[in-house]
Amino acid sequence: MTNNIIELQVEGMDCNNCAMSITRFLERKGLKDVYVNFQTKEVRFQPNEEVMSLEEVKSGIHKLGYTVVEEEKPQAWWTLERKLIISAIFTAPLLIGHILMSLGVHIGLMHNNWLQLLLCLPVFIIGLLHFGKSAWNGLVQTGVANMDVLIFIGSTAAFIYSLIGTIQNEPNYIFYETAATIITLVLLGNWFEHRAVKQTTSAIGELTKLQVEKARRIMPSGTVVTINRDEIKVGDILQVNEGDKIPTDGMIESGHAAVDESMMTGESVPIEKVKGDPVVGASIVDSGNIQMRVTAIGKDTVLSKMIELVKTAQQDKPDIQRLADKISAIFVPAVLGIALLTVLVGHFAFDLTFQKALMNAIAVLVISCPCAMGLATPTAVMVGVGRLAKNGILVKGGTTVEVFSNIKNIVFDKTGTLTTGEFKVQHIDYHTDNPAFVNALIYKMEQHSSHPIAQSLVKEMVSRVNGVELGSIKVEEQKGIGVFAQDDEGNRYHIGAKPGTTDLEHQTIQLTQNDQLLATVEISDELKPEALVMM
């Protein structure tokens, strides 16, 4: 995909055939690299003014029955949820009355055909407006019969059939509950699908939230000015202080800092960064401050590439989705043909009454309406990719997810990245006869540090203090060295990593008193082999 790809946000797509309608429309006009995703509401294509202008593209999509979102607008009141709620309220008495009747329980009021018509009418109007427009525009603009065509025809056939029965006062013709239930159940299915996609694509939202909105640029005069993210340029010198998020990718020009890159690597321990070291946008300066030169902005940053990877992962479709796309493309015409054949064969070949043959055809339309394969297959891929991203696992696309189904065993080559993200105390060796004093001392000193290792020690020692009280003690943290303390008697204490420790996931912490070893703490955040789930 080239860099000059146009991306539009389009509302109104409900299933894979909706996406295919837009895809075929744009491809028939001559546009290249067309990619439409109904779950993320994205339409992408390579612009070509000679073939079709951007305004013509938007106009064409609008004529198909979909809306190009030009800017963020407040959510409309007439949402899918409200349509579903209103439809369910009117459908419930119809459906419950029908079920009770089939069980031999008769409610006289619910046998009133005109009352059933009044209950069904609001639901039918909602379905007519929700599904009818998309069905009609799909047929007129592209000649593609999408899933809304089946929903519209099935519900309309049942409603009109029932209306004729009401006028003729023929109870055997009344199927208002069928028309209302078709619309309500499909709306419910759409709501479930939208809810699943919304929860899944929150992974993209969480990544996007990591982006920094403001930055401090150092001007040639030395003045520091605050600028917006989109004003940052490659080559700018930015000031980043302790506690700040790094605005974008860059290289440290001066200063020293411990940078928390867990959003990228998952590592619990901040990485020490000095002049000449690269830094990644959205990572956090845990301690220290730096001046950095910007090396990448916008879509060229590591974070933006991560977001793009998640958003476009579905372009690499697994075999099952390719099959679903092919079948769903001919599914609607095939079902309509089968329904018509059901009427003709049933009436003329098997001597069924026209009423019975027509009801059998309506049953064909009703059963096929939701199209589980055309809707569920791409949604399942989207949910899989999104859930993986939400848990910090990025994949190239749907094919990778499909490969997972054939995995029997997983072998991890431990290279320092398979971690839990949270340190836990594995073992403590006491070199004194008073372990309770050591526990209280560790707890007291590490409370003054925000380092992940210090916080894990505080969490562990809170249950080991056992009421031991320490006298007055002065505590001071020195970044990168450890925590120092001194009591009223002049005893000097130090707690920090054992010199020479290079394994970030497994640390040995030493506590000394006047340079004499009091305790050694083994602490780790790596996964143990027995914790790995073997597939």
Residues 6+ apart with CB under 8 A from 3: 299
Determine the Cα–Cα distance for residues 127 and 182; give it in Å rounded to an integer. 9
Distances in whole angstroms, Cα of residue 220 to Cα of each of 217, 225, 295, 482: 10, 11, 18, 37
Residues 6+ apart with CB under 8 A from 244: 284, 285
Task: Enter the tokens of residue 39.
Answer: 């779950």
> Would you tell me how many other CB atoms lie within 10 Å of the CB of residue 189?
19
Determine the Cα–Cα distance for residues 17 and 154; give it in Å rounded to an integer. 17
Specify burial of residue 520 (Cβ count, 10 A radius: 0-12, 13-18, 19+): middle
Task: Enter the tokens of residue 15.
Answer: 């299933």
Q: Got the DSSP string for 461-515?
A: HTTT-TT-----EEEEEETTTEEEEEETT--EEEEEEPTT---SSEEEEEEEETT
Q: Which of 287, 276, 212, 221 is nearest to 247 (CA)?
A: 212
Check: CB of residue 435 under 8 Å from CB of residue 451. no
Task: Enter the tokens of residue 427.
Answer: 């073992």
Q: Got the DSSP string for 446-461?
A: HTT---HHHHHHHHHH
Residues 6+ apart with CB under 8 A from 35: 1, 23, 42, 43, 44, 45, 312, 315
The question of whether 413 is a catalytic residue gets the answer yes
Phi, psi of 332 (to 5 degrees): -65, -50
Phi, psi of 478 (to 5 degrees): -115, 115
Check: CB of residue 243 under 8 Å from CB of residue 272. no
In a 3-state reduction of DSSP, which class is residue 392? coil
Catalytic position from the list 230, 351, 413, 515? 413
Q: What positions carry a catalytic annotation?
A: 413
